[in-house]
Amino acid sequence: MADQAIAIAEETTGVATPVLRQRDRTAARLFIISLRGSCVLFLIICGGLVAELVWGAQLSLRTFGVGFLWSSAWDPVTEHFGAAPFLYGTAVSSLISLALASAIGIMAGVFLAEFAPRKLGVSLGFLIELLAAVPSIVYGLWGLFVLAPFVSQWLGPALQDTLGFLPFFQGTIYGVNMLTAALILTLMILPTITAISRDLIEAMPMRYREASLALGATRWETVAQVVLPSVKRGIFGACMLAFGRALGETIATTMVIGNRPVISTSLFAPGYTVASVIANEFTEATTNLYLSALIELGLILLLISIIVIGLGRLMLRLLER
Amino acid sequence: MPARRRLTGGIWVGASAVCATGVAAVLLLIMAYIAERGIGALSLSYLIHVPRPIGIPGGGVANGIVGSFIIVGIAALMAFPIGIFVGLYLGVYGYGPRAEGLAFVADVLAGVPSIAIGIYAYTVLVEPFRQFSAVSASFAFAVLMLPLVIRATEGAIKVVPRELREAATALGAPDHRVVGKILLAAARPGIVTGLLLALARVTGETAPLLFTAFGSQFWELDPTRPMAELSLQIFNYAISPYSEWHEQAWGGALLLIFAVFFLSLLARLSFLMQKGRGPGRAE
């Protein structure tokens, strides 16, 4: 009876009574242990990611050494593998998309935070955030059936007519090519850059703007000379996060880049990325060395994105303080 | 030259307006296009039948839809408990370099390419058993969700007013009760939102499935065997040379968008609706 009363009292107040302290102490210890245990488990999972990829890549690492990075051979029959065409394709497609998306995205973020009427800003921002969640397979599907024909029939010829003297815009125009991949990636990372830029700008204290306006600067001058410089590290961080996403994007790129392991200056030629070759050939890898070479590509991708994302996060974190 | 300065400013502001509305408009147009193409492919038979060989009309993606639920469901069972516990640790005791390091690791993991995580799942759960399986796909999804769950839980705990925790502690409640009865209750809206967003993040994720779940043409409910999944079906249909299968891909894409938007909107709504109640109110 007394036990029951104590239990009820404890249940309702959440306060430990002396009688039950022993049980509570056990529970408290269990609680701490499970929190710590989860953290350790999480770190093991993270460490396992790197360790498993290094382990799986061992055979390829030993066979090809560092030469793997700049060899452009990719021949499963003779078992000669090199990463160069894939690294090139990943770098070119994601750098172009980063350049386009950061220019447009930062401008869009500025508009949403500074100039848009409140209701328009909120609804546009909500829309863009919602679209950030659209899966990449959807963008890939649209890119393959709508954007690729558009590039080969309209955008490609138009670029060739105007800028055809540049080596990037010469040669046969394929529908699935480096340019299409870069454009799809641009669309996919735009919401990230726009949303983070907007948040950073909105978080800036009003008094900086007021000071600048009081000194006679126009609203745009205030943005360009006061607001943007003070959040530039954060925006750089946002761009790095978006760049990391473009580097690792797999499905959408695989569907529109053409999947041919060649290095070509022309953006109208098909290419291949690190992520795409893994996606396409992983289940077809018949020999251990082939599989190991693909895993090494995954390892390279992992390390590059850890560096890029880490840098981006560091920048955003420094700004938070 | 105030007039010229104002003009330059006006041009830039106009350009920024064009960028913002342009981004939203292009993305909306893409969605509208997919909706239009997808509606034509959707039908009851599409939702309740398994794929049929090319040439035989009528197949559907029912096995893929069920497969998606199974794979994401198992992933949630793996990721939610660990993620919430790590998030609790960071939210409750998370001060100092060790906790900051842990949070940083979670942030970096959130940006790791899903294809690399797919390889990880392959080496851990496919290669040793010599069989593709839904569980390995769930493992990959769980690794993708973990950082989101962790950071959402941590964030939700950290915005709970300090006084609430202090009051409970002052009354003599031990830590596990403070967390269980006070902090978790107050932080629930934020945590639930985070969990829903994590689900939205992996719904439609395709890359790691290529060599984990692998896909299947048949009904398959055993998670230790290869299983169909909706986004994987869309991918295979899209890169096939047949126009009937392309139709099926558009239908699937529309379903995926529905699912993701539903989860995202639910996340926001549940946050708004729950925030008004419960002990988490700051006033």
Write the CATH number for B244.
Answer: 1.10.3720.10
The residue segments making up the domain with residue B172 are 63-275
Confidence at A15, pLDDT banded by 50, 70, 90:
low
How far apart, in whole angstroms, are the C-alpha atoms of residue B69 and residue B77?
12
Task: Spell out the domains of chain A, with CATH numbers in brackets.
Answer: 2-66 (no CATH), 70-320 (1.10.3720.10)
pLDDT at B41: 86
| HSE toward the beta carbon, residue A238, CA cutoff 13 A | 26
DSSP for B10-77? Answer: HHHHHHHHHHHHHHHHHHHHHHHHHHHHHHHH--HHHHH-----TTSTT---HHHHHHHHHHHHHHHH
How many domains is chain B built from? 1
Q: Does the CB of B182 have a partner CB in chain A at under 8 Å?
A: yes
Alpha helices in chain B (DSSP H): 2-41, 44-48, 62-93, 97-111, 114-121, 134-158, 162-170, 175-177, 184-202, 230-238, 243-275
How far apart, in whole angstroms, are the C-alpha atoms of residue A249 and residue A244?
8
Per-residue pLDDT tens over the stretch A129-157: 888 888 999 999 999 999 999 999 999 88
pLDDT averages per 10-residue partition of chain B, 283 residues? 83 92 90 91 85 81 92 95 94 87 93 94 92 94 96 91 85 82 87 92 91 86 89 90 88 93 88 63 40
Q: Is the pLDDT of residue A175 over 90?
A: no
How far off is chain A from B1, nearest CA to CA, in Å?
12
Enumerate the residues of chain B whose CB falls inside 8 A of the CB of residue A255.
Answer: 235, 238-239
List the one residue out of A57, A288, A307 whose CA is nearest residue B119.
A57
Please write down the HEC assignment for all residues of A191-226.
HHHHHHHHHHHHCCCHHHHHHHHHCCCCHHHHHHHH
pLDDT at B119: 95
Confidence at A96, pLDDT banded by 50, 70, 90:
very high
pLDDT at B110: 92
Q: Do A310 and B205 touch (CB under 8 A)?
A: no
Q: Does residue B174 lie in a domain region?
A: yes
- Min mean pLDDT across A141-150, A185-194, A311-320, B137-146 is at A311-320
Q: Is the CA virtual torsion B230, A280, A52, B112 positive or negative?
A: negative
Q: Does the CB of B241 have a partner CB in chain A at under 8 Å?
A: no
Q: What is the mean pLDDT of residues A28-33?
A: 87
Q: Does residue B22 lie in a domain region?
A: no
E strand map for chain A: 74-75, 80-81
Bigger pLDDT: A321 or A266?
Answer: A266
Q: Is the pLDDT of residue A292 over 50?
A: yes
CB pairs under 8 A between A and B: 276
Q: What is the mean pLDDT of residues A67-77?
A: 88
Q: Do B20 and A134 touch (CB under 8 A)?
A: no
pTM: 0.90
- Min mean pLDDT across A55-64, A266-275, B39-48 is at B39-48
B227, β-bridge pairs: B214
How far apart, in whole angstroms, are the C-alpha atoms of residue A227 and residue A198?
11
Tokens of A179: 């340019």
Q: Do A255 and B172 touch (CB under 8 A)?
A: no
Instruction: State what percent of residues in chain A have pLDDT above 70.
Output: 93
Task: Please name the residues between 202 and 231 in chain B that touch chain A, using a CB distance below 8 Å.
Answer: 203-207, 210-211, 214, 231
Per-residue pLDDT tens over the stretch A204-234: 889 999 999 999 898 999 999 999 999 988 9
**Which candidate from A137, A218, A275 shows the least CB-CB separation from B6?**
A218
Q: Could you tell me if A274 and A90 are in contact, meaning their C-beta atoms sit under 8 angstroms apart?
A: yes
Q: Which helix (H) or strand (E) holds A81?
A: strand A80-81
Q: Is the CA virtual torsion B159, B161, B167, B170 positive or negative?
A: positive
Q: Is the pLDDT of residue A321 over 60?
A: no
List the one residue out of A179, A138, A137, A136 whose CA is nearest residue A268.
A179
pLDDT at B230: 92
Q: Does residue B45 lie in a domain region?
A: no
Q: Does the CB of B15 have a partner CB in chain A at under 8 Å?
A: yes
Interface test with A, best of B88, B115, B243 (most A CBs within 10 A): B115
How far apart, in whole angstroms, are the C-alpha atoms of residue A170 and residue A157?
10
Q: What are the C-alpha distances in Å from A138 to residues A248, B27, B35, B38, B215? A: 16, 12, 11, 11, 18
Q: Do B108 and A309 touch (CB under 8 A)?
A: yes
Q: Is the CA virtual torsion A250, A245, B69, B208 positive or negative?
A: positive
Bigger pLDDT: A16 or B83?
Answer: B83
pLDDT at A1: 46
Q: Does residue B28 lie in a domain region?
A: no
Q: Do B112 and A305 touch (CB under 8 A)?
A: yes
Q: What is the mean pLDDT of residues A298-307?
A: 95
pLDDT at B283: 35
Q: Does residue B29 lie in a domain region?
A: no
pLDDT at B277: 55
Q: Does residue B43 lie in a domain region?
A: no
Q: Does residue B67 lie in a domain region?
A: yes
Q: Do A140 and B109 touch (CB under 8 A)?
A: no
Tokens of A54: 């290094």
Per-residue pLDDT tens over the stretch A250-261: 999 999 998 888
- The angle formed by the CA atoms of residues A145, B48 and A279, to the nearest 5 degrees, is 40
Enumerate the residues of chain A whose CB falls inside 8 A of the CB of residue B20.
Answer: 107-109, 111-112, 116, 124, 194
pLDDT at B47: 86
Bigger pLDDT: A316 or A40?
Answer: A40
How far off is chain A from B221, nearest CA to CA, in Å?
22
Q: Does residue B266 lie in a domain region?
A: yes
Enumerate the residues of chain B whose CB falls inside 8 A of the CB of residue A224.
Answer: 12
Q: What are the C-alpha distances in Å from B266 to residues A121, B145, B197, B278, B281? A: 22, 17, 9, 19, 21
Q: What residue has token string 């096995």?
A: B63
